[in-house]
Amino acid sequence: MSFTSRRAFVLAALCALAGVIRAAFAYHGGIWADEGFFLLVARAPSWSSMLDFLRFHESHPPFFYTLMRLWMSVTGGGDVMALLLCVLIGVAIVPASFLVGRDLFSSRAGLIAAGFAAISPPLIEHSAQLRPYGLMPLLALVSCFALVTAANRGGFRRWCLYVLSTVALLYTHNWSWLIAVGQLVAVAGLFFSVDLARRSRLVRQWITSWLAIGLMYLPWIPAFLFQVRHAGHGPIVIDTFAQWTQLTLLGIPAALIMVVAGHVNDISLGLWMVVAAVGALTTVALSDVPGFLAAADGTVRSTQVEKHPGRKVAMVVFIAVPVTAVFFAVVLSSRSNLLLPRCMATLTPLALLVLAAWLDDAWRSTSARPVTSRFGAGVFTVVVAVSILGARHLVMTERSNSKEVAETLSSNIRPNDLVIIAPEWYAASLHHYFDRPVDEIDYPHAGKSGMVDFSHVFERVSDPAPLARLRDTIDKAAVAGRRVWLVTSSDYVRPLRARDVEDATRFHLASAFSVIRVHQIKNALSGAFGPADLGYLDRGPKPLNDDLLLFLYARPDGLREPAAIPR
């Protein structure tokens, strides 16, 4: 078997591995709240109704919704086929990483990057669910690759690829503007590192490209500005200089770790910081200085540089974009939380390519830099081990228990029962499996909510009128001898602290204020009915996303006036 054939076989095997892992995760457990809501929007009665809803009631642009709507119109619209599109997009990142790595660095760097992408936990998680976060890394990779090749080699077709891929990226998610800012920083860096003739051409072509991008994005600008003002996630609470310091010192390392490893907690963040510190000290203390000098002089890397003249431009872009995006995500999170794992996954292919290029370079110069080569082997082992453990955790964990909760509710519901779902966004996934004709309140709505309006969320959840109306309904249900089911999530029944209540009100945190409302609803139910029947709670392992809880409130002693309910 020739070298080219072996390389093709390895790449095919990596694609197959990526497909198996992503499919195993995608089809393990029911859809969760965000996916259920996505399907409601993508299946809107008409194209115009879908676009109108996205403009004024969501926080996302329409490209991925449009892509999924077209796909479902061809394949029939079932869950299996809808998830298949996401899996295929996720698998496409593997050959894309190889092609980009081969073109800009070397074939071996491309294969290393493809291998990392195949088992990358953040790429697996977010490319195997009905959300736009699996498409974003692929488009970001294509956009940055097109920028590198266009800046280095020029050509109308390369700049057209950059324009089209960037427009698609911006129409996929608003977080993509951080990628665009990172590209601007990268171009500014290139501006000062090239000769005068190339500098003038680069600026002219860059400006022309962004005029084209702006023209294509122009129809969406009013919707984008509306979403920035009225939708999106709540801010990270920053009230003191100490909190700013903590966010800066911990937020940036945590974000960079999320790019490679996915979700992090305090323990894993500490371990990763220790590993990074030890690795940095080892590199500085033990690196072979003569080897570095020889490499800088061109005696070790001359062949590679001649083969890949765009390497310098690629490294500038692929490093500047993630670093800039993470920096601004940290800075802007005091207004709206942008440090979300699903957003950080957008940067993952870029970071993996930089890592793959560094490893390939270290291993090519083993004789000149033996310590660096061995350190590279250690880094490779750590990344692979962390990725395998993360991928195993994803495959072994259900994505949501919404299907099981819906089946339990369907099996035990009575025609006279009342179902309360709080907060309202869990109704989308539950209704995907539960369609019994019963009286239902998706709080703060008075009835079933359908597609949730994600603009002005805090104003709705903090409004006292829906709570007063619901308390009155609970009182009447208790008097009438009706049973009441409460569906919520474990995230909303956690203990409340006085500081949580203060921060939720002061900083307009919709999710945090919803925790307060769920506690108030449970108190109202307990006051009217007594303790809940906990026999319907799922005792299985905690799902990755929605961990829905099912409480039943019923009076065992028949009809009577309810006890006084604290207001």
pLDDT < 50 positions in the chain: 266-267, 280-307, 559-567
pLDDT computed for residue 322 by the predictor: 93
- Per domain, the residue ranges of the chain are 3-30+61-396, 402-553
pLDDT computed for residue 528 by the predictor: 93
Match 């709206």 to its residue by tokens: 336
User: What are the residues facing 489 on neighbouring strands?
Assistant: 548
| Category of 450 on φ-ψ map: left (φ > 0), alpha (ψ -120 to 50) or beta | left
Sign, CA dihedral 359-364-366-368, equals negative
Q: Provide the CB-side half-sphere exposure for 318 (13 A, CA).
A: 29
Match 């996303």 to its residue by tokens: 545
- Provide the Cα torsion 301, 305, 306, 311; round to 10°: 160
Euclidean distance between CA atoms 190 and 202, whole angstroms: 9
pLDDT in tens, 289-347: 334 334 433 444 444 434 455 788 899 999 999 999 999 998 888 888 888 889 999 99
* Residue 521 · residue 464 · CB < 8 Å: no
pLDDT computed for residue 339 by the predictor: 86
pLDDT computed for residue 289 by the predictor: 35
Question: What string of DSSP letters covers 174-203?
Answer: TTHHHHHHHHHHHHHHHHTTS-HHHHHHHH
Q: Dihedrals φ, ψ of 552, to 5°?
A: -115, 130
Euclidean distance between CA atoms 386 and 260, whole angstroms: 9
Q: Would you give the DSSP letter of residue 496?
A: P
pLDDT computed for residue 18 by the predictor: 97
Q: Provide the CB-side half-sphere exposure for 412 (13 A, CA).
A: 19
Helices 348-364, 370-396: axis angle to 10 degrees equals: 150
Q: Provide the CB-side half-sphere exposure for 70 (13 A, CA).
A: 5
The H or E element containing residue 548 is strand 548-553
Which residue type is seen at 531?
P
Euclidean distance between CA atoms 161 and 276, whole angstroms: 36
pLDDT in tens, 197-251: 778 888 899 999 999 999 999 999 999 998 888 877 878 777 676 767 767 766 6
